[in-house]
């Protein structure tokens, strides 16, 4: 898909339809020429001919006989559809201009992209293929996919996806985990190198994409897929065994979910419950605001399937990269530091109360716990709790049943909260460390920005020290502490987290077996020694490399990175 979401599959036209298709191309060329000429004339009038010249150049390119000849040859000689022929030809031109290290030529590349889009628009017209209406298996290669677009990908057909922009900690990447499909987010520019029908390998484990692989590479990957399946089958054997260290310390492994159907993924992997239910996806998957009953039904679904295992429902964490479908992206200059998460809920009480009522009503059905995201000050926590008390009071007055010992917790994902955590824990039943945001806010690195992705490391010693502080505060008050950021889904960090005193981890469901395998292969003193050593290192890369080495010693065949 290009920036405008056009999808250009490799299509062939029947031999006897070639003339008709050439006519279609001709019409699209003519329509595009007319449009550009109109633009040129308008700009000439309004701004003067020096600006109109930009469009004059477009016209010349579009009507260049060589370019036309190449497109026609693809249709006549290879029976390509006009869309595919246009896209192949113009992408090749774009590529050539991009490869010339000259700013002026690079600008020309933009012009060619523009021409390609205009031609495709005229060719495809209303026949534009919608990503939401797929009928056969595809890999989605796109400039960008928002978390809500990703959440709405059709799992029956989308086998994997790659985006040019976005960061490793973005929710688009997290949703890929939920969909259980291979994905690479923030690969950088590559779309001009591919066309529909090309063979592409998406290596989600290593964050790599192989375009036009040779036979040897294909064979190697096929073998890796087979090995992966064998390992998954082997790990299935762990499902009913506890996540217990070799020296007998019990851990609890919970699942992080975005959609109710993932509860089954959790159960299939033997999780002890749901440690983080990201309820904002109820908004991201729908064009209208969910009613109390929509919330309630989703929660009931999750709670019933989990049958008395803990279910931690996090209240809405909208904003930043999580924007509901059809809504404009934030115009804030710093959305991550702006109106997001609990801040939105506290300023929009009807929305917040609707959700809280649904959670509290559903709480009679199981071990429901409620968690507030992005809490930064004690005052904010108290305000959120006050709204909750108010909702509970209302339900009580109306004789609507609810769980009286509903546990209340908060996400610890802002450094200010860690620093002040001794105060917070006095008013909480549990905490959960959100390392995705904690990393973003500690290192001042946007988790969603590929340009600073090389600076985004949960293994940074500063992040580790904050986790250590948070665990210490929780322990002082005997408050259970969990880690639910992506860090806990990566087996590279399991020994470190155990060594730092964590006994609960909440992870992407598909990661449960691998993390459990690490837990069962190590002892607590060993993990403590590893953590002490890691905490003494100076930078994120050294920490990660050290942890990888240690993991390899315990599980030599690990592919974790």
Give the CA count within 13 Å in the CB-facing half-sphere of 322.
25
Binders in 38-57 for ligand PEP, by CB under 6 A:
none
434 near Mg ion (CB under 5 A): yes
Among 317, 380, 446, 448, interactor with ligand PEP by CB under 6 A: 317
Q: What's the rounded Cα separation, in Å, for the pair 469 and 436?
A: 17
Establish if 435 lies at the interface with ligand PEP (CB under 6 A): yes
The residue number with the shortest CB distance to ligand PEP is 434
Number of residues forming the site for ligand PEP (CB under 6 A) = 11
265 in catalytic set: no
Instruction: Name the residue nearer to Mg ion (CB basis): 149 or 413.
Output: 413
Determine if 367 is a binding residue for ligand PEP (CB under 6 A): no
Angle between helices 65-78 and 82-99 (to 10 degrees): 130
**What is the chain's Cα-based Rg?**
27
Q: Which residues contact 244 (CB under 8 A, 6 or more apart)?
A: 250, 251, 519, 520
| Pairing between β-strand 407-412 and β-strand 252-257 as defined by DSSP bridges | unpaired
Q: In this chain, which of 82, 310, 366, 434 binds ligand PEP, going by CB under 6 A?
A: 434
Nearer to Mg ion, 439 or 504 (CB): 439
SS3 of 481, please? strand
Q: From the CB of 225, what's the least distance to ligand PEP, in Å?
A: 28
Distance CA 214, CA 233 (A): 29
Residue among 129, 367, 413, 550 that touches ligand PEP (CB under 6 A): 413
- The span of 89-97, 136-144, 379-387, 407-415 binding Mg ion (CB under 5 A) equals 407-415
- Identity of the residue, 83 or 413, whose beta carbon is nearer to ligand PEP in the bound complex: 413
Positive or negative torsion for Cα 22, 25, 27, 29 = negative
Return the exposure string of 277-315: e unless at least 16 CB atoms fall within 10 Å of the residue's CB, then b: bbbbbbbbbbeeebeeebbbbbbbebbebbeebbbbbbb
Please count the other Cβ atoms lying within 10 Å of the Cβ belonging to residue 276.
26
CA-closest candidate to residue 290, choices 253, 265, 256, 315? 315
Stretch that binds ligand PEP, among 1-9, 109-117, 430-438, 449-457 (CB under 6 A): 430-438
Candidate residues 484, 511, 522, 530; the one interacting with ligand PEP per rule CB under 6 A: 484
If one asks whether residue 319 binds Mg ion (CB under 5 A), the answer comes out as: no
Nearer to ligand PEP by C-beta: 171 or 516? 171
Token output for 73:
């040859």
Catalytic hit among 265, 266, 457, 484: 484
489 binds, among ligand PEP, Mg ion, none (CB under 5 to 8 A by kind): none
Residue that the structure tokens 């060993």 belong to? 526
Which has the closest alpha carbon to 373: 336, 350, 345, 395? 345
Alpha-carbon torsion (389, 393, 399, 404), positive or negative: positive
The smaller minimum CB distance to Mg ion, of residues 169 and 491, is found at 169
Q: Catalytic residue at 171?
A: yes
Find the shortest distance in angstroms from Cβ 171 to ligand PEP.
Answer: 6
Q: Which of residues 62-81 bind ligand PEP (CB under 6 A)?
A: none
Minimum CB distance to Mg ion, residue 485 (Å): 7
- Indicate which of Mg ion, ligand PEP, none lies near residue 484 (CB less than 5 to 8 Å, by partner kind): ligand PEP
Interaction pattern, residues 166-195, with Mg ion; x per rule: CB under 5 A: ------------------------------
Task: For residue 27, give the DSSP letter.
Answer: H
- CA-nearest of 492, 487, 500, 412 to 456 is 487
Q: Which of 413, 535, 416, 539 is nearest to 485 (CA)?
A: 413
Judged by CB under 6 A, the chain residues 274 through 313 that form the site for ligand PEP are 276, 278
Contact status: 437 vs Mg ion (CB under 5 A): yes
Smallest gap from residue 77 Cβ to Mg ion (A): 54
Tokens 């250590």 correspond to: 468
Helices (H), 48-102: 49-62, 65-78, 82-99
| Calpha distance 184→162 (Å, rounded) | 5
167 binds ligand PEP (CB under 6 A): no
Options 146, 272, 436, 494; binder of ligand PEP; rule CB under 6 A: 436
Binding site for ligand PEP (CB under 6 A): 174, 276, 278, 317, 413, 434-437, 484-485
Catalytic residues: 171, 484
Binding site for Mg ion (CB under 5 A): 413, 434, 437
């Amino acid at each position: 898909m290009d920036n405008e979401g056009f999808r250009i599959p490799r299509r062939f036209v029947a031999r006897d339809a070639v003339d008709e298709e050439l006519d279609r191309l001709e019409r699209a060329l003519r329509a595009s020429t007319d449009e550009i000429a109109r633009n040129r004339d308008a700009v000439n009038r309004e701004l003067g001919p020096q600006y109109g010249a930009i469009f004059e150049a477009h016209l010349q390119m579009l009507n260049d006989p060589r370019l036309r000849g190449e497109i026609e040859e693809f249709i006549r000689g290879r029976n390509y559809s006009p869309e595919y022929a246009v896209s192949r030809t113009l992408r090749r031109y774009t590529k050539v201009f991009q490869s010339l290290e000259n700013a002026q030529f690079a600008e020309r590349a933009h012009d060619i992209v523009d021409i390609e889009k205009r031609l495709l628009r005229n060719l495809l017209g209303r026949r534009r293929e919608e990503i939401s209406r797929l009928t056969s298996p595809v890999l989605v290669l796109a400039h960008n996919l928002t978390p809500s677009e990703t959440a709405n990908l059709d799992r029956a057909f989308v086998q994997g996806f790659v985006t040019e922009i976005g960061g490793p900690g973005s929710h688009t990447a997290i949703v890929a985990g939920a969909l259980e499909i291979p994905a690479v987010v923030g690969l950088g520019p590559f779309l001009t190198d591919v066309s529909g029908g090309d063979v592409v390998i998406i290596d989600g484990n290593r964050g790599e994409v192989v375009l036009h692989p040779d036979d040897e590479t294909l064979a190697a990957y096929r073998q890796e897929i087979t090995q992966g399946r064998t390992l998954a089958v082997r790990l299935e054997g762990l499902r009913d065994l506890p996540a217990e260290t070799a020296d007998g310390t019990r851990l609890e492994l919970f699942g992080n979910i975005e959609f109710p159907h993932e509860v089954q993924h959790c159960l299939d992997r033997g999780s002890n419950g749901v440690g983080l239910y990201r309820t904002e996806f109820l908004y991201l998957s729908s064009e209208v605001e969910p009613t109390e009953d929509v919330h309630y039904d989703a929660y009931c679904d999750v709670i019933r399937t989990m049958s008395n295992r803990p279910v931690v429902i996090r209240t809405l964490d909208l904003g930043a990269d999580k924007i509901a479908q059809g809504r404009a992206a934030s115009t804030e200059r710093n959305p991550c530091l702006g109106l997001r998460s609990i801040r939105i809920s506290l300023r929009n009480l009807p929305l917040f109360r609707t959700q809280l009522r649904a959670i509290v009503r559903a709480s009679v059905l199981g071990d429901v716990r409620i968690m507030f995201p992005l809490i930064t000050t004690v005052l904010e926590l108290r305000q959120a709790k006050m709204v909750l008390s108010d909702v509970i009071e209302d339900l009580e007055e109306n004789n609507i049943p609810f769980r009286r010992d509903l546990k209340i917790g908060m996400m610890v994902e802002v450094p200010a909260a860690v620093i002040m955590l001794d105060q917070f824990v006095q008013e909480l039943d549990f905490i959960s460390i959100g390392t995705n945001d904690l990393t973003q806010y500690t290192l001042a690195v946007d988790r969603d920005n590929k340009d600073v992705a090389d600076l985004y490391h949960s293994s940074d010693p500063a992040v580790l020290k904050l986790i250590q502080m948070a665990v210490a505060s929780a322990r002082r008050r005997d408050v259970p502490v969990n880690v639910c950021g992506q860090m806990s889904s990566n087996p590279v960090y399991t020994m470190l987290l155990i060594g730092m005193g964590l006994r609960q981890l909440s992870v992407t469901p598909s990661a449960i077996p691998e993390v459990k395998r690490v837990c069962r292969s190590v002892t607590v003193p060993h993990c403590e020694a590893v953590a002490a050593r890691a905490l003494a290192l100076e930078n994120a890369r050294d920490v990660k490399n050290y942890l990888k080495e240690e993991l390899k010693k315990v599980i030599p065949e690990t592919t974790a990175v």
